[in-house]
Structure 1
Amino acid sequence: MSEKKNKSSRHPCFMDKDLHSRLSELASSKKMSLYDYTNYLLSSALEIESSGVSLESVKELIIVLGKISQSYKGTITIAPFSMTETSGEWRDLGKRLGIIARESFQNSKEGVIRMCKSILQVYGSIQESGNTVKIMSPNLLSENVINNLKDLLEGLLESSSIQGEVIHDKGVLGLKIY
């Protein structure tokens, strides 16, 4: 965190009453003043945005990874989707992610949707409407990548006890939840 600012450099800021209450609670839990905590959050958000990464694009990923880190006591490896060629490995990975989504979120459907968004956002902008999450991307033209991700998403649905289907075609991938 940066050094404390001179108190005379404060500027008034207006915000929603509920947001103010939530910020106050979190600041208190972190043993920080509301002023210092708000500035910390805003400067972090500005740094992320100015680096070219949109907060919206990383929000779901951070939530999902946070839930995984709270619930999962193992090793997480980040590798290209073409890395594993053994049949069934992607489905098994999806099943494990489905269990984590089911156990980590109070609402299994929300957990599956967030997990799906987290996985697919690597490829581009997520499109979400109702109970459908999908992405259309030229990065999904590889049959190997589509098949790996399709297996992963089918495994995710299978172990999460959520009814749905994987939507897939050249350049399109997603989930439709029933």
Structure 2
Amino acid sequence: MDANVHRKLQELADKKGMTLYDYTNYIVRNALDIEENGVPIDDLKELMIVLGKVAQNYKGIISIAPFSVINQNGDWRDLGRRLGVISRESFKQEKESFLRMCKSMLQVIGYVKEDGNYIRVISPALISDKILENLKEMLEGMLETTGIKGSVIHDRGIIGLKIEDSPS
């Protein structure tokens, strides 16, 4: 085992009042349970980091609802703007934090594919014009509150975000 990983495990085991053996089994057992239930650990890690930052920097109400719930024009764009501000204020590197936030928001829809400056998700849930339009509005709102230049690409069953390379 990597020496730094061993040291961190020992520190956390001590804080929990557990032996290193018991704590390591606890961590591995839970990770296996998560993976066996179809949630990749890397995706969960990204989502938890983003949600943790949101919880630290946003003092308001967060509710979970289907993307088709909000009917009023502008609500999704406004949500996107707020998420963009949280993203910008939460992490040191704006582009990386923005991509993390977008990825976390899109993971609830389907499998997210990343390729450099491009993120996309393909999902049967995106067949609905209303859901697609709401997500488009949210992503455009996020772009509005950052210094990042990009565009939202959407079509039936797919939505994506293309970030323009900044001049060197």
With normalisation by structure 2, the TM-score equals 0.87
Q: How many residues align?
A: 164
SS in 1 for 2:145: helix
The letter for the 2-side match of 1:111 is S
Structure with max Cα Rg:
1
Distance 2:60 2:17 in 1: 31
Shift of 1:44: 1.5
Matches within 5 A, 1:149-160: 149-160=135-146
Structure 1 unaligned residues grouped into runs of 5+: 1-14
**More displaced stretch, 109-118 vs 27-36:** 27-36
Distance 2:150 2:6 in 1: 39
The letter for the 2-side match of 1:59 is K
The letter for the 2-side match of 1:165 is S
Cα deviation 1:72-94 (Å, max 9, x = unaligned): 12110111111111000000000
Distance 1:85 1:121 in 2: 22
Choose from 59, 71, 88 the match for 1:102.
88
Residue 74 (structure 1) aligned with residue 60 (structure 2): yes
The letter for the 2-side match of 1:142 is S
Distance 1:31 1:99 in 2: 39
Shift of 1:26: 4.3
Q: Per the alignment, do residues 41 and 132 of structure 1 end up closer, same or farther by CA in structure 2, a change over 3 Å counting? A: same
With normalisation by structure 1, the TM-score equals 0.83
Cα deviation 1:99-156 (Å, max 9, x = unaligned): 1111111111111111111111112111101111111222211111111000000011
